[in-house]
Structure 1
Amino acid sequence: MTAKTHNNPVIEKKLIFVINSTFPSYSGGIENWLYNILKSIPEGYTVRILSIKKTNAQPFYDIPLNSKISVKQIVTLRSKKYYELLNKFPFRLIMFVEQIYWIIKATYKLVLDDSEIIVALHSIPTIIPCIIAKGMNRNKKVICSVRGVVGDDYLSMSKYFLAKIYMILEKFFLTKADKVLANGWDTKKYLLNIGIDSTVSPNGVDYKKFSKNYSVFNENSNHIRMLIEKQKGGAKLLVHVATLRGKIKGIEDVIYLASRIKKESQYLNEFYILFVGKGNSRPYKQIAEKLGVLNQCIFLGEIKKVERILHISDIVVCLFRGGGTSQAVIESMAAGKPIITWDTLFYSQIIQNNIHGLLIEKNNFSDMVKAIDKILSNHSLTHKLSKNAQKKAEWFDWTQVRKRLFNEINHV
């Protein structure tokens, strides 16, 4: 614990977050969580971040670097501009070579670092150098924040062998950690099934920012302004926030939903689905064109001020999969928007059906269309869902999430 007396200076705990990405240049769920944790470090801590250096990249996040926060970076193949091209080789061989190199370099950095507590942001491969460093210096403590089911990407691509290897490694290294945090109650259940006890430390939301009513859209986007004008004429705007990547993000499902809405909706004559998230939209536009809904699917790319897009929407549709408390869902709740999603633990751990949103049987697109019609034609239901969701989202405000996290760190 931090000691503070009138005669002695404050003895600060040294903490290092280890993240296997090019943070702060890269944005994603883990990166966004870390950025919001760093916004307010409690007294008695100095924090370092160990990440991967990205050559000539501009930071996506404005990290408040000062005497309490610093960043250490490792140069790997991922630092180079040509990495993405190399990673297209069969079996993603370059990725595995790069990861092994990263583990070696990260282990070296952590062994030399004088931080008392290491926080690994996700399990495999991030936890590996942390546990090795702990083995070489018994005074170090390791906390692992598990961010969903490891190997999920490989499972979604039917690469079961690779997923199995990741899961075996995960269980082995998690048993060596001093504390395990889960990013949701579904992740906690998954960990319990493999014999790992954990404490839930969820994602959060800037409640004040997302609950604010933005009466005017100030962004310099003719595209958005055009959609707002169409909305005034009766068109409805649906939003889906997720990276354009793989089946796990549900992009293809949302495009298919658009085709079903077009055919089956009794209420929507004109609608647009706004896809917010980075990634290559070309293959998804091709799918939309084949299904006859290219004009209804609008790919906006990565947007920093997501709250403004949420506030012009009529409904938020969440069809992505994954593990943990989804930040996109929590932000939509804080924005006071009606949410429609699948009835799975990933969503039901946050949303109670017909109270905070509507939960639909997984892959039942016909009922999904009916639910959308139900919300848009029932203003009292929309109001109830929105207000209840917004009230629940307050519990996930970053100030509360941060406080609970450092309470766990204090007791490691």
Structure 2
Amino acid sequence: MKKIVFVVSTPYTAKAFLENHFEKLSQFYEIHLVANLNEKELSNYSHPKLASVQHIQIERKITIVNDVKALWKTTKYFKKNQFDLVICFTPKAGLIGITASWLAGIKNRIHFFTGQVWHTKKGLFKVFLKLLDKIVVAFSTKIIVDGKPQQDYLIANKIITQHNSITLGKGTISGIDVTKFSPKLDIRLQQREGLGYLEADFVFLFLGRLNKDKGILDLVKAFGKLQDKYNDVKLLLVGPDEEEIESKVKELGYSLDSIRFYGNTNEPETIFQVADVFCLPSHREAFGLSIIEGSACGLPIICSDTYGLNDSIVNEVTGIRHITHDSESIFKAMETLYSNEDKRTSFGKNGRIYVLENFSKEAITSLWVTYFQSILNK
């Protein structure tokens, strides 16, 4: 069997996005994984369909000495195994994995773009980060992008071209399990009771990494204004607090009586059931996976108009777009959905239909298998 190796900087990427691909692709190919298994999230990651899991310390932050070591070890590993295809995810794993595969003489080298760190940066650092992306593209034989809007953005910024890049379907790395992510009234009642919410409470949910780039402080500011008008609204923030956001919210003087910091969860499909509206006010995003998960659970969406979210939502059909960085625009969208039950119901139903038609994991993985076969079965 021909051999494919996936390269990620953290095993969490494999756990969250790649397992269904491992399952299906292993029917045709020998599948291997390179990951930094020192990562705290999944220190001993394995999967029954993987032929091997190789630890290489690929760190997400720029650390010159460690990065050179990782490049040398990855190149050595690739030369030893001579894979038929290498596919890399995230900026650092892409830079090291693609460069190593080029040095090792691997014929098929694919990088998967899932977002641009440089989108919100300025000055020379932004120029430097864009240059790194251009190096990855130069050493790749093909680029996959997890959404057409992001592909267009990268083309406009002269990172990729229409010729050397592709989007599979309407995007996402993996699609979602539309049975797992679906409306479940019994779980909603159970979870709301467990969190101390009344059925009459109106809950806005954010799920993701808590940091400034996700627009969390914009969302909190908008919610604070909403709370001044309506006393039954709640804001539930779910995910790892990467930048001491909770402390910053307290410093800004917002009451935490109606703003709950939940922490991380391994069951997003459960926490979605608690909410009445899902919010993603991100300043930059490659593709809104959490949006399609929320839509699959029948939730109306509020999200920013940043380029990467264009295909995750159909504006005024599955949710409302707001102006990026604009808390007043977020407030207006929150108030609109709070006060209009018919619109909430319509958006929720339309959203689930949209996900079923475009983002099921079976459909996305089928596109992957077909694409890989077109490369490897020549």
- The one of 86, 108, 122 aligned to 2:76: 108
Shift of 1:126: 2.2
Change (3 A) 1:41 1:357: same
Change (3 A) 1:191 1:276: same
Change (3 A) 1:39 1:129: closer
- Equivalent position of 1:169 in the other structure: 132
CA distance in 2, matches of 1:169, 1:62: 29
CA distance in 2, matches of 1:300, 1:106: 38
- The one of 295, 299, 307 aligned to 1:345: 307
Shift of 1:151: 2.9
Instruction: Write the deviation string for residues 142-179 of structure 1: whole angstroms up to 9, x where unpaired.
Output: 01111112434xx44x5x32331121122133133111
Gaps of 5+ in 1: 1-11, 79-86
- Equivalent position of 1:236 in the other structure: 202
- The one of 51, 54, 74 aligned to 2:35: 51
Instruction: Write the deviation string for residues 265-322 of structure 1: whole angstroms up to 9, x where unpaired.
Output: 4xx3222211111235744334245232322221111101111111110111110133
Tell me the amino acid that sits aligned with residue 227 of structure 2: K
CA distance in 2, matches of 1:307, 1:358: 22
Which runs of structure 2 are paired with 1:3-82 in the superposition (5 Å)? 12-21=1-10, 23=11, 27=12, 32-41=16-25, 43-54=27-38, 59=42, 63-66=46-49, 68-75=50-57
CA distance in 1, matches of 2:21, 2:316: 32
Q: Please report the RMSD computed on the Cα atoms of aligned residues, expressed in angstroms.
A: 2.7
- Equivalent position of 1:189 in the other structure: 152
Correspondence 1:260 to 2:225: yes
Change (3 A) 1:323 1:411: farther
Shift of 1:123: 4.2
Change (3 A) 1:38 1:291: farther
Tell me the amino acid that sits aligned with residue 119 of structure 1: I
**Is the 2:9–2:35 Cα contact (8 Å) retained in structure 1?**
yes
CA distance in 2, matches of 1:302, 1:213: 21
- Equivalent position of 1:83 in the other structure: none
Instruction: Write the deviation string for residues 49-79 of structure 1: whole angstroms up to 9, x where unpaired.
Output: 0111218x5738974324x542111257x6x
**Is the 1:340–1:358 Cα contact (8 Å) retained in structure 2?**
yes
**Is the 1:281–1:299 Cα contact (8 Å) retained in structure 2?**
no
Correspondence 1:297 to 2:259: yes
Shift of 1:368: 2.8
Change (3 A) 1:390 1:190: same
- Equivalent position of 2:323 in the other structure: 361
Shift of 1:191: 2.5
Tell me the amino acid that sits aligned with residue 65 of structure 1: P
**Is the 2:210–2:240 Cα contact (8 Å) retained in structure 1?**
yes
Shift of 1:389: 0.5
**Is the 1:123–1:144 Cα contact (8 Å) retained in structure 2?**
no
**Is the 1:186–1:323 Cα contact (8 Å) retained in structure 2?**
no
Correspondence 1:274 to 2:236: yes
Shift of 1:363: 3.8
**Is the 2:283–2:324 Cα contact (8 Å) retained in structure 1?**
no
CA distance in 2, matches of 1:134, 1:304: 36
CA distance in 2, matches of 1:150, 1:47: 29
- The one of 134, 137, 141 aligned to 2:108: 141
**Is the 1:38–1:63 Cα contact (8 Å) retained in structure 2?**
no
Aligned residues: 366
- The one of 390, 397, 400 aligned to 2:352: 390
**Is the 1:124–1:170 Cα contact (8 Å) retained in structure 2?**
no
- Equivalent position of 1:82 in the other structure: none
CA distance in 2, matches of 1:251, 1:181: 29
Tell me the amino acid that sits aligned with residue 163 of structure 1: K
